[in-house]
Amino acid sequence: MYKEKKIIDMFLSNGGVLTTKQFNNEGITSYTINRMLDEKKITRIRRGHYIHNEIHLNDHEIISSLFPEAIIYLQSALLLHEYTERIPNQWIIAVSRNMKRSKYDIDYIKINAHFVEEDILRIGLTEIESYLDEEKQNSKIVTKIYDKDKTICDVIKHRNKIDKEVFNKAIRNYINDSRKNLNNLYTYARELNILGVVETYIGVWF
């Protein structure tokens, strides 16, 4: 018989996601795992990986727990930066071009992985921290994401693949954001070789 509190504590200690191996290491058998699945206590999110149905996890937190190397990108980054209210039908991430492409094919969350050159992958990289237990501020999850200035560069670079309304609103929200950093914006634009087009969309406002 498994103890519910022990199971929840295990999830909280591992970013909200547990593997079959982690269960087995704690003496929890495949029979017990299947029983918890049948009882709707846990959900399988990919082969050998589970979440607990009493622990709330946002999609980006699940992605970060499953794939710590993933960087939230483009429209998905706009959502987390509150530059759009439109929920994407897929989560867009950036990862190294050296990663195995099939790694990010999961059924629970639709992921669109962009495989990026190493020399630009970490430009504008920052992190968002969240907690599975907000009251106690523990069980921390770290989500990699491009900062606001890099995200706007990315959106401008890929503007032809982004809904026009989403694009225009993102630009307006960035312009009106008192926390934007234009020095960073133009530095990133130079590094990405898109300075001219960024100045076309942003420079006219200043």
Asked whether residue 86 falls in the same domain as residue 16, the answer is no
Asked whether residue 42 falls in the same domain as residue 130, the answer is no
Whether the CB-CB separation of 118 and 36 falls below 8 Å is answered with no
Asked whether residue 120 falls in the same domain as residue 67, the answer is yes
pTM recorded for the entire structure: 0.94
CA-to-CA distance for 63 and 72, rounded, in angstroms? 9
Phi, psi of 93 (to 5 degrees): -130, 155
Task: Return the number of other C-beta atoms located less than 10 Å from residue 30's C-beta.
Answer: 10
- What is the predicted pLDDT for the residue at 206? 61
Q: Provide the β-strand partners of residue 71.
A: 94, 144
Asked whether residue 9 falls in the same domain as residue 106, the answer is no
Overall residue count recorded for the chain in this entry = 206
Asked whether residue 27 falls in the same domain as residue 124, the answer is no
Asked whether residue 12 falls in the same domain as residue 83, the answer is no
Asked whether residue 22 falls in the same domain as residue 122, the answer is no
- What is the predicted pLDDT for the residue at 203? 78
Asked whether residue 17 falls in the same domain as residue 78, the answer is no
CA-to-CA distance for 85 and 152, rounded, in angstroms? 16
Asked whether residue 36 falls in the same domain as residue 78, the answer is no
Asked whether residue 104 falls in the same domain as residue 27, the answer is no
Domain span including residue 36: 4-52
Centroid of chain to Cα 90: 11
Q: With CA atoms as reference, report the closest residue to 71 among 101, 57, 98, 91.
A: 91
- What is the predicted pLDDT for the residue at 3? 82
pLDDT of the chain, 206 residues: tens digit per residue:
568 889 999 999 999 999 999 999 999 999 999 999 999 999 999 999 999 999 999 999 999 999 999 999 999 999 999 999 998 899 999 999 999 999 999 989 999 999 999 999 999 999 999 998 766 567 899 999 999 999 999 999 999 999 999 999 999 999 999 999 999 999 999 999 999 999 999 977 76
H-helix segments, 39-73? 59-66
Give the number of domains in the chain.
Answer: 2
Whether the CB-CB separation of 91 and 110 falls below 8 Å is answered with yes
Asked whether residue 36 falls in the same domain as residue 108, the answer is no
- What is the predicted pLDDT for the residue at 199? 95
Asked whether residue 64 falls in the same domain as residue 25, the answer is no
